[in-house]
Each structure stands twice: as C-alpha cells, then as structure tokens.
Amino acid sequence: MRLILFDVDGTLIDSQAIIHESMRLTFLRWGLAEPDISATRAIVGLTLESAIATMLGRAEVDYETAEMAADYREIYVELAGRPEMQSLPFLGIEGLVERLACEKHIKLGLVTGKSRRGVARLLQTPIFRDRFVVARCADDCPSKPHPAMVLECCDEAEIPPHRTMVIGDTSFDMEMARAARATAIGVNWGYHPVSRIEAAGAAYVAASCKALEAAIHGWLGGGGIGQAAASRSSGLMSQTFQYA
C-alpha cells in the first residue's frame, strides 16, 4: 500500500484570485501598502498567520499578524460567493484524482495550509468527495515546511513515510516532504517557480497531469520516476531539516 498526499492551493485548485484579493484588502484595511501578486504567490502554502508574518518581514507570529489573519478570514468569506473568485481544479486534476482513488493499492490524502473549514468545503464538492481518506491542515499542525502534516497522515493511514509521496507546487511542500523522509514531487502549474521547487528538493517536477501520472506509476512500479529524478532523490534524501 502507498500513500499519496496532495497539497491543495496551486496543486489541485487555482485559488490565487481569492487569496490575493483577500490579502490585498486585508493590508488596505490595516493601512498598509497592498502587496503585489508575486508577494502573495510566494507565501501560498504556509498557514495564514505565518504567511502574513512573512509578508510583513517578521520572524514570528505576533498579536497584529493574528488580528490581520482574522480580518483576512472575514474578507475571504465575503468574497467566496463571487463568481470571479471561484477556485477551480487545474486541467486534468479531476480525472487524475478519480483514477488514483480507484486504485486499490493507493490511499490519497491532503496536506494543506487551508483551515479545517476550507478543507471541509473542498471535500463537499463532487470532484473531491470521497476521494481522500486522510487530511491535515492549518488547524491541525504547525505550518509547512514542518513535517508534522505528513507524519500524522502517515500514522493515521498506517503507511510509513518511505512509502509516501507528497505532491505540491511550492518549496514549502518539498521541504516538508524531505523532512518527513517522503518522496517529494513538484508541479509547475502552481505558485512557485520551478527553480525554487527544484532547489527545495523536488525529485521531479511535472509539467502536466499526464506527466505527473506517469511519475506516480513509475514510483508505484518500483522503477522510480525516471533515472535522473531517482538519482536526484537519492542524493537529497540523505539531507533533512531539524525542527523543535
């Protein structure tokens, strides 16, 4: 049995419109200069409080960043009903998730910086309903790249990290996977540039869902995800991050 853990924002769904607009309006509400979209894309994947602290150049979450996060959540809910703010799955994701969920030797899960409410909302949609057996989010664990989300999913699914793949679009996902000793696979259609994903330790970066599916089946078959990718993964897996 294998476990495949997907990031959500930037990997399964394109949510940058509502994330950026919510962040922009939050900063304006606090009398701060509105961030450009590149700054917002750079922090997608972190838990909200950590993301805001990073955008403000602060090393730690403090009272102000926590209050800004509360305002962000309020604004996000207000925007969520607008058609132009809907988060849609990336091309090919629906079919990929459906096919993987039908594989008897695979379990699927989610590791995301979304809130528990956001995850519940996602799992109520027809595309993702009854596909994932385990999930960890911002309300459950420390922010990525801490490995807790992956490790807790592995424990719940009763599948060890070395039989687990993490798929994401950010450096935070790759660092989290490496810290947990799971296989780290990136995608190039999300919010971090490929160079940053590779530098963070991705064994492979897929340019399409077709390429991602091929990499997954190579991994499942024991033949690796390509000679170059396997070599890269072998070298990187000897490294790890230390967390308190």
Write down the pLDDT at residue 174.
98
When divided into structural domains, the chain yields a total of: 2
CA angle, 213 then 140 then 74, to 5°: 95
Dihedral-angle region of residue 111 (phi above 0 means left; psi in -120 to 50 means alpha; beta otherwise)? beta
Assess whether 109 and 201 both reside in one domain: yes
CATH code at position 174: 3.40.50.1000
Q: Output phi, psi for 111, to 5 deg.
A: -130, 110
Assess whether 228 and 150 both reside in one domain: yes
Is there a domain that residue 21 lies in?
Answer: yes
Q: At 224, list the tokens.
A: 């690796």
Burial class (CB in 10 A: 0-12, 13-18, 19+), 72: buried
Instruction: Provide the total of helices (H) and of strands (E) in the chain, helices listed first.
Output: 11, 8
- Of 64, 85, 106, the residue that ends a domain is 85
Of 241 and 193, the one with more pLDDT: 193
Q: At 217, list the tokens.
A: 């089946």
Domain with 23, as residue range(s), is: 16-85
Q: What is the DSSP letter of 141?
A: S
> Over the stretch 3-27, which tens digit does the pLDDT of each residue have?
999 999 999 999 999 999 999 999 9
CATH code at position 25: 1.10.150.240
Contact 215, 204 (CB under 8 A): yes
Res. 224 pLDDT band, cuts 50 70 90? low
235: enclosing H helix or E strand:
helix 227-236
Is there a domain that residue 107 lies in?
Answer: yes
Peptide bond into 145 cis (omega under 30): yes
Is there a domain that residue 146 lies in?
Answer: yes
Place of tokens 């926590």: 66
Assess whether 26 and 8 both reside in one domain: no
Coil, strand, or helix at residue 197? helix
Res. 243 pLDDT band, cuts 50 70 90? very low
Residues ≥6 apart with Cβ < 8 Å to 118: 112, 137
> Over the stretch 42-101, which tens digit does the pLDDT of each residue have?
999 899 999 999 999 998 999 999 999 999 999 999 999 899 999 999 999 999 999 999
With 60 as the cut, is the pLDDT of residue 226 above it? no
For the chain, percent of residues with pLDDT exceeding 90: 89
Of 35 and 232, the one with more pLDDT: 35
